[in-house]
């Protein structure tokens, strides 16, 4: 076991897959000589050279299109978005090409591409660098969407994403890169379509992902000390949602709280509620509660920024209120 930062876990996954398969390459802004804005590609340029670790101009639409074309010819690109918000500039390439070409070509082309990078509300990064794009990409057919939350799942999921034959949008939270965890010395991969049961319980199912996993754990530690017994599920796969694991949990707890950093309107929580109502409505004892960020551009001011997102105290209050209502 090795104590590893999350950014190093992602670097190790990339390095191992590049060593394993010469078709894998990295492309993006400052990924080469600089080693990536958050050092996920540090040292890879010296090891693999210019043709496999490509520094690009500030031209997201262009280099994303180039990477999609490379994937069509049999290569396996990893695009690093310096900040995932910048990939809005490549939205046309991601939606009209990455997501569609396998289908519109009648299966003649596969698009084995990973689009990864930091996102979420950081610490005073401003509105344009604090976006949560998972909801933007949720409606695009043909994409898989994954949100890692720990060094362990970051490494296993990224390796699996690189080997997948479909385009994978891989979200990392900007505030989780310095998390540390002991990782196995042996190789491992994790499924891209499965949620993780973080904690089993019987009172209420809490569905969450990315940074909010850690806020939920903080809240649940307090709740358990007061006699409550919540179940925690880290969604990990945002598309497709692991509705089987979610439904099994609801059958046990009969209550659901969604905790997300995404915006409330048309966010991941909204799709979760729709699917829960479709597949598990009869097992609910109470309406699903959604704890989401406010529907406003994230303020630069630190205190205002903090006020836009959910915190452990909000989760504690929501759990107590729900259990009080159903008791």
Check which CATH number belongs to the domain holding 86 and give it.
3.40.50.970
Q: What is the pTM of this model?
A: 0.96
Assess whether 226 and 250 both reside in one domain: yes
Pick the last residue of a domain from 129, 152, 183. Answer: 183
Assess whether 240 and 163 both reside in one domain: no
Assess whether 129 and 213 both reside in one domain: no
Pick the last residue of a domain from 143, 162, 183. Answer: 183
Q: Is residue 302 part of a domain?
A: yes
Assess whether 219 and 287 both reside in one domain: yes
The answer to whether the beta carbons of residues 38 and 81 sit under 8 Å apart is no
Range of the domain at 51: 2-183
Assess whether 133 and 232 both reside in one domain: no
Assess whether 40 and 61 both reside in one domain: yes
Pick the last residue of a domain from 157, 183, 209. Answer: 183
Q: Strand 196-199 vs strand 230-234: parallel, antiparallel, or unpaired?
A: antiparallel
* pLDDT per residue rounded down to tens, the chain (327 residues): 789 999 999 999 999 999 999 999 999 999 999 999 999 999 999 999 999 999 999 999 999 999 999 999 999 999 999 999 999 999 999 999 999 999 999 999 999 999 999 999 988 999 989 989 999 999 999 999 999 999 999 999 999 999 999 999 999 999 999 999 999 999 999 999 999 999 999 999 999 999 999 999 999 999 999 999 999 999 999 999 999 999 999 999 999 999 999 999 999 999 999 999 999 999 999 999 999 999 999 999 999 999 999 999 999 999 999 998 877
Assess whether 222 and 320 both reside in one domain: yes
- Total number of domains constituting the chain: 2
Assess whether 158 and 233 both reside in one domain: no
Please give the positions annotated as active site. Answer: 60, 129
Collect all residues with Cβ–Cβ distance below 8 Å to 42 and sequence separation of at least 6: 11, 35, 36
Residue 51: phi and psi, rounded to 5, are: -80, -15
Q: Tell me the β-bridge partners of 173.
A: 119
Q: Is residue 243 part of a domain?
A: yes
Looking up residue 307, the CATH number of its domain turns out to be 3.40.50.920
Assess whether 16 and 81 both reside in one domain: yes
The answer to whether the beta carbons of residues 286 and 236 sit under 8 Å apart is no
Q: Is residue 216 part of a domain?
A: yes
Assess whether 249 and 144 both reside in one domain: no
Q: Is residue 190 part of a domain?
A: no
């Amino acid at each position: 076991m090795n104590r590893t930062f999350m950014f190093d876990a992602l670097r190790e996954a990339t390095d191992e897959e590049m060593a394993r398969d010469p078709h894998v390459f990295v492309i993006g802004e400052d990924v080469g000589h600089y080693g990536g804005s958050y050092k996920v590609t540090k040292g890879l340029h010296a090891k693999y050279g210019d043709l496999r670790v490509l520094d690009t101009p500030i031209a997201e639409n262009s280099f994303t299109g180039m990477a999609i074309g490379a994937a069509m010819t049999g290569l396996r690109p990893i695009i690093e978005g310096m900040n995932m918000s910048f990939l809005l500039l490549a939205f046309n390439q991601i939606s009209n090409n990455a997501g569609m070409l396998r289908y519109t070509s009648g299966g003649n082309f596969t698009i084995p591409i990973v689009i990864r990078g930091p996102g979420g509300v950081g610490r005073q990064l401003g509105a344009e660098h604090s976006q949560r794009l998972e909801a933007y990409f949720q409606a695009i057919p043909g994409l898989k969407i994954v949100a890692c939350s720990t060094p362990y799942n970051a490494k296993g999921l990224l390796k699996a994403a690189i080997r997948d034959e479909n385009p994978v949008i891989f979200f990392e939270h900007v505030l989780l890169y310095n998390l540390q965890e002991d990782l196995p010395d042996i190789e491992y991969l994790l499924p891209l379509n499965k949620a993780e049961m973080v904690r089993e319980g019987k009172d209420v199912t809490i569905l969450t992902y990315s940074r909010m996993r850690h806020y939920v754990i903080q809240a649940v530690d307090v709740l358990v000390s007061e006699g409550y017994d919540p179940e925690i599920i880290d969604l990990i796969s945002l598309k497709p949602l692991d509705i089987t694991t979610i439904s099994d949990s609801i059958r046990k707890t009969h209550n659901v709280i969604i905790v997300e950093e995404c915006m409330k309107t048309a966010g991941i929580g909204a799709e979760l509620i729709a699917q829960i109502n479709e597949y598990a409505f009869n097992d609910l004892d109470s309406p699903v509660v959604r704890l989401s960020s406010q529907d406003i551009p994230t303020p630069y001011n630190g205190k205002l920024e903090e006020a836009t997102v959910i915190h452990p105290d909000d989760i504690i209050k929501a759990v107590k209120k729900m259990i009080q209502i159903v008791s």
